[in-house]
Amino acid sequence: MSDTFDLETLAVRAGTQRSQFNEHSEAIFLTSSFVFDSAAQAADRFGGQEPGNIYSRFTNPTVTMLQDRLAALEGAEFCVATSSGMSAILACVMGLLSAGDHIVASRSIFGTTVQLFGNILKRFGVETTFVPLADLAAWQQAVQPNTKLFFVETPSNPLTEVCDIAALADIAHQSGAWLAVDNCFCTPMLQRPLDLGADIVIHSATKYLDGQGRVLGGAVLGSKQLMEGVYGFLRTAGPTLSAFNAWVILKGLETLKIRMDAHSCNALELAQWLEAQPWVERVYYPGLPSHTQHQLAMKQQKTGGGIVAFDVRGGKEAAWRLVDATRMVSITANLGDTKTTITHPATTTHSRVTAEARAAAGIGDGLLRVAVGLESVADIKTDLARGLS
Ligand SMILES: *Cc1c(COP(=O)(O)O)cnc(C)c1O
């Protein structure tokens, strides 16, 4: 379908397979294994001579529908669904890298990804160098003869810094490395990294793809050849997505376009309003002309997305007062939900980072991150203004 239909159509229809009952809505196949007609057929399935399902750690029809739909949306040849965003990143690295290989990663990636690369993979002989995401010369300088993978998230969390994907892909390819982009914040509705030259797209489907804060899930997308390695790890090691979660995310995708548009509209309006508040020192949102990389962001993303960060005057005390005075907005770390969420990065997601490192990364004590939901933006403003009014 992917060549002939628009993204909103693909989100609703791509990948659908019907069973013998001709159900209209996609079915959930809650079964761990699949039955063969004969010993010969079992042998052929296991031997790969006959395509078809064998066991749900390998493939499951509901999971396959999600993989095919997501592949169509990202413009990828193949998608491997996983049990969470973190297992997607793990499967990507375990499927494609070996001991002795090297990763160059943005230092502004999801905190758990920093732990995975910096601590766990290091124990298995894969080293990572962290660089400032927008500094292309730093990426170039970090390259070693054994560099296999560049890893970036754009826009970044929480400061919404943007990385030039096309330029970074060029540097990666000149260095003989693959570029992986964690596209969690934009989703394919706002940004398609493979079109810009990236080799691999990673998703935490837990966020906008589900979009309603219900289940964990993840995905790795790219060429058939690269995904063969990732799938090989998945079917052997087993961080497989459950059929139920795949179905929830599949249904989430059907409304992805209208949700991303609405999240973006609300976020832009909130960012503009925050910029006009005397108690706000600075707003970070790629959709605002005041964002230092506004032009680049608008070139590679359709909108500024749904995440807004801002510094309040008065540091931690003022920031906590704002958080504690909310009555509607949820004090929680999740994002990409219909419900607006607020976090104080310095004392939560980035509390394990030293104060100096936080300051160097621009994460001050007065910084707050809002993942703007689908409530009325007037109600979100009222809720945020309460604590500091
Ligand atoms: C949440 C998140 C992850 C990890 O996803 P899980 O589904 O929680 O494992 C990875 N990258 C980004 C950008 C995230 O926001």
Q: Span 260-272, mean pLDDT?
A: 98
Average pLDDT over residues 66-91: 98
What pLDDT does 1 receive? Answer: 62
Please tell me the distance between residue 257's alpha carbon and the centre of ligand 1 in angstroms.
20
Atom of ligand 1 nearest to the CA of 157: 13
Banded model confidence at residue 164, pLDDT cuts 50, 70, 90: very high
Whether the link from the prior residue into 345 is cis, omega within 30° of 0, is: no
* pTM > 0.75: yes
267 Cβ inside 6 Å of ligand 1: no
CA of 204 to the centre of ligand 1 (A): 5
What is the structure's pLDDT at 383?
Answer: 97
Q: Please check the confidence at residue 2 and state whether its pLDDT lies above 70.
A: no
- Best mutation site among 184, 190, 369 for ligand 1 pocket (most ligand atoms within 8 Å of CB): 184
Is the minimum distance from the CB of 343 to ligand 1 under 6 angstroms?
Answer: no
Ligand 1 neighbourhood includes 210 CB (under 6 angstroms) = no
Answer yes or no: is the C-beta of 86 below 6 A from any ligand 1 atom.
yes
Q: How many other CB atoms sit within 10 Å of the CB of residue 106?
A: 25
> Which amino acid residue places its CA nearest to atom 8 of ligand 1?
85
Distances (CA, A) of 135 to 52, 131, 282: 46, 8, 22
What is the CATH class of 257-388?
A: alpha beta
Residue 38 Cα to ligand 1 midpoint, Å, equals 43
Mean pLDDT of 206-224: 98
Structural domain spans, the chain: 7-253, 257-388
> How much distance in Å is there from the Cα of 372 to the middle of ligand 1?
17
With cut-offs at 50, 70 and 90, classify the pLDDT of residue 362. Answer: confident
Residue in 154, 187, 206, 335 to alter for ligand 1 test, most ligand atoms within 8 A of Cβ: 206
Mean of per-residue pLDDT scores for the chain: 96
Look at residue 111 in the predicted model and tell me its pLDDT. Answer: 86
Is 83 close to ligand 1, i.e. is its CB under 6 Å away? no
> Does residue 179 have its Cβ closer than 6 Å to ligand 1?
no
Tokens 């050849």 belong to residue: 225
Q: What is the residue type of 22?
A: N
Report the Cα 82 to chain-centroid distance in Å: 13
List, as one string, the DSSP characters of 113-174.
HHHIIIIIIHHTT-EEEEE-TT-HHHHHHH--TTEEEEEEESS-TTT-----HHHHHHHHHH
Separation of 121 CA from ligand 1 center, angstroms? 17
Give the class (CATH, top level) of 7-253: alpha beta
pLDDT in tens, 300-336: 999 999 999 999 999 999 999 999 999 999 999 889 9
Structure tokens at 24: 């209209």
Any atom of ligand 1 within 6 Å of the Cβ of 216: yes
Q: Does residue 356 surpass a pLDDT of 90?
A: no
